[in-house]
C-alpha cells in the first residue's frame, strides 16, 4: 500500500507551535501539504503571546524541504480565526485540511474557579473550534466542495476533577463536531474528532511518570488518516495515545418502557436501565427515537 500523501493540499493547524500541533504540522508538511502553522505563543494558561513558537516550526518545515507559513492570531475570536484562514487562502488559494488543536488549561475545583477562568477555556477550546470551522466553511462548502476537519476533544469529557471548564469545552466540541459532520457530508466535508493522550506542555505536570511513552507523534496518525481524501469515516471520535488507536462512541441502553412510567418504576428497575448489554450506538436524535420503540415493555 502506498503512503498517505497530501500533495497540492493546504492544511491549517492551530496551536501548532508545540506538542501535538507541532507533530501534526510537521507530519502533514512531510507528506506534501502546504501548512499554515498557527500559534499565539502564550503560556499554558493562555497568558501573553510570542511569534517565536509558530515561526520555529515553520523554519523546521522549510529546512526539511516543506512549505509553510506562520500565523500568530488568537482563535478565541471570530476575527482571529478568520485571519488564520485568510493566511491560507492569501498564500495558497485554498483550505483542504483544518486541524483544531489550540488550547489552554486553567484547572481549579468548581468552587474555586473564577468566571474568567471558565470563560477563557470555553473561548479557546470550544468557541475557538467553532470560529475556525465557521471561517473555513465557505471555502470548503461553497468553493471547493471538499474538506477534512479534525477537532480535538479529550478523555476529560468523561469528567475529570478540577476541570469542569475543560471537560465542558471538550464535550461541547464532540457534540458540535458530530452535528457539523452531518451538515458537511453532502459537500464531501468529513469532520472527525481526536481524543489524544500525549505528553505536552499542557499535560506533563498532570501525568508525571505515566506520560513517559506518550509521544505526540503516536497520536498524529489519527490526523494523518482523517485528513486524507481517502478517509471513509465521518463524525467519529478516536482515542489515541502510546501507540494505541481506539473508537469512542455514545451508546444508549435498551432500558425499560411503560406508558404510565413513574419515578418508582425507575427506582425498581434501575439495574436494567443501567445494564449496557445490547446497547445501541446513536448518531442522531432520530436514532434514539427509534430505540424507544425497541425497549422492553414493563
How confident is the model over 127-150, as a mean pLDDT?
98
Considering the domain boundaries, does residue 2 fall inside one? no
How confident is the model over 121-125, as a mean pLDDT?
97
Active site residue 118: no
Q: Do 177 and 283 fall within a single domain? A: no
How confident is the model over 77-89, as a mean pLDDT?
98
Considering the domain boundaries, does residue 4 fall inside one? no
Q: Do 159 and 269 fall within a single domain? A: no
> What are the pLDDT digits (tens) for 166-207?
999 999 999 999 999 999 999 999 999 999 998 755 555 555
Lowest mean pLDDT among 76-85, 111-120, 258-267, 284-293: 284-293
Question: Which among 6, 146, 166, 225 is annotated as catalytic?
Answer: 166
Q: Do 263 and 243 fall within a single domain? A: no
Domain tally, the chain: 2
Q: What is the mean pLDDT of the chain?
A: 93
Q: Do 243 and 260 fall within a single domain? A: no
Q: Do 279 and 243 fall within a single domain? A: no
Q: So what's the pLDDT on residue 198?
A: 83
> What are the pLDDT digits (tens) for 91-103?
999 999 999 999 9
Range of the domain at 262: 251-297
Confidence of residue 229 (pLDDT cuts 50, 70, 90): very high
Q: In this predicted model, which residue has the larger pLDDT, 78 or 42?
A: 78
- Single residue among 231, 248, 265 that ends a domain in this structure: 248
> What are the pLDDT digits (tens) for 20-56?
999 999 999 999 999 999 999 877 866 777 899 999 9
Q: So what's the pLDDT on residue 48?
A: 75
Q: Do 283 and 234 fall within a single domain? A: no
Considering the domain boundaries, does residue 279 fall inside one? yes
> What are the pLDDT digits (tens) for 238-253?
999 999 999 999 999 9
Q: Do 202 and 271 fall within a single domain? A: no
Q: Do 143 and 274 fall within a single domain? A: no
Q: So what's the pLDDT on residue 296?
A: 57
Q: Do 195 and 269 fall within a single domain? A: no
Q: What are phi and psi of 296, to 5 degrees?
A: -75, 130
Cα separation values, 3 from 53, 221, 230, 256, Å = 29, 12, 12, 49
Q: Do 277 and 206 fall within a single domain? A: no
Considering the domain boundaries, does residue 261 fall inside one? yes
Say which CATH number the domain at 44 has: 3.40.50.720
Q: Do 237 and 98 fall within a single domain? A: yes
Confidence of residue 286 (pLDDT cuts 50, 70, 90): confident
Amino acid at each position: 500500500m502506498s503512503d498517505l500523501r497530501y500533495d497540492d493540499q493546504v492544511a491549517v493547524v492551530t496551536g501548532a507551535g508545540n506538542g501535538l500541533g507541532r507533530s501534526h504540522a510537521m507530519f502533514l508538511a512531510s507528506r506534501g501539504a502546504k501548512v499554515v502553522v498557527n500559534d499565539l505563543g502564550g503560556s499554558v494558561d493562555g497568558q501573553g503571546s510570542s511569534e517565536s513558537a509558530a515561526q520555529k516550526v515553520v523554519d523546521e518545515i522549510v529546512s526539511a524541504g516543506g512549505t509553510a507559513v506562520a500565523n500568530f492570531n488568537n482563535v478565541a475570536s471570530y476575527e482571529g480565526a478568520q485571519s488564520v484562514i485568510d493566511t491560507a487562502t492569501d498564500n495558497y488559494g485554498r483550505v483542504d485540511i483544518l486541524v483544531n488543536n489550540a488550547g489552554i488549561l486553567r484547572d481549579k475545583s468548581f468552587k474555586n474557579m473564577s468566571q474568567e477562568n471558565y470563560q477563557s477555556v470555553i473561548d479557546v477550546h470550544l468557541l475557538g473550534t467553532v470560529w475556525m470551522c465557521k471561517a473555513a466553511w465557505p471555502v470548503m462548502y461553497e468553493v471547493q466542495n471538499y474538506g477534512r476537519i479534525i477537532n480535538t476533544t479529550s478523555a476529560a469529557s468523561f469528567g475529570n476533577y478540577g476541570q469542569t471548564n475543560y471537560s465542558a469545552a471538550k464535550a461541547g466540541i464532540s457534540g458540535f463536531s458530530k452535528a457539523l459532520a452531518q451538515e458537511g457530508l453532502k459537500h464531501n466535508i468529513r469532520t472527525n474528532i481526536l481524543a489524544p493522550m500525549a505528553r505536552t506542555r499542557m499535560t506533563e505536570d498532570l501525568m508525571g511518570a505515566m506520560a513517559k511513552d506518550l509521544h505526540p507523534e503516536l497520536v498524529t496518525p489519527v490526523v494523518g488518516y482523517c485528513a486524507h481524501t481517502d478517509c471513509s469515516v465521518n463524525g467519529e471520535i478516536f482515542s489515541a495515545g502510546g501507540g494505541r488507536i481506539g473508537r469512542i462512541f455514545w451508546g444508549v441502553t435498551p432500558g425499560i418502557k411503560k406508558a404510565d412510567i413513574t419515578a418508582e418504576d425507575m427506582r425498581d428497575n434501575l439495574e436494567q436501565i443501567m445494564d449496557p448489554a445490547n446497547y445501541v450506538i446513536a448518531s442522531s436524535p432520530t436514532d434514539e427515537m427509534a430505540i424507544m420503540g425497541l425497549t422492553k415493555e414493563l
